[in-house]
Amino acid sequence: MEILVIVVIIAILVTISVVLLMGAQNKAAVNAYKTSMKSVQAGLELCTGSLGSMMSGKPGDSLCGGTERYPKLPVKCGNISFITDGSSFVTTDGSCSGCRVECTVEACEIFEDHAGDCF
């Protein structure tokens, strides 16, 4: 009987640990996504300022025909691509764990599917 109680306690502790770890991984993925979008915002400024126009693409694709590339996104964000109008706006075609960022040359704006998704 005591062994059963110990097994149940261990199972509960493992479950709690896994839940906490998953939350930390989602938070890290969202933070990396937001950082990547700030980098893309700088690329938007560079592309529209001197190199012509920005192109939509997947992580690793060229931003505007030069050597500048879209940053890699965390695996937890899923298979999302970058979308732009070519001169003043860039976002992604999906959210990262419920967080989506839209950037213009001036600033980035954060949108949440649910309150707290972007931490």
CA distances 33 to 20, 29, 53, 109, Å, are 20, 6, 23, 13
List pLDDT tens digits, range 73-119: 999 899 999 999 888 899 999 999 999 999 998 999 999 998 888 88
**What pLDDT, on a 0 to 100 scale, did the predictor assign at position 119?**
80
pLDDT tens per residue, range 13-58: 777 765 555 678 888 999 999 999 999 998 888 887 766 788 899 9
Q: How far apart are CA 38 and CA 66, in angstroms?
A: 19
For residue 59, the model assigns a pLDDT of: 94
Q: Tell me how far the alpha carbon of residue 10 is from its chain's centroid.
A: 34
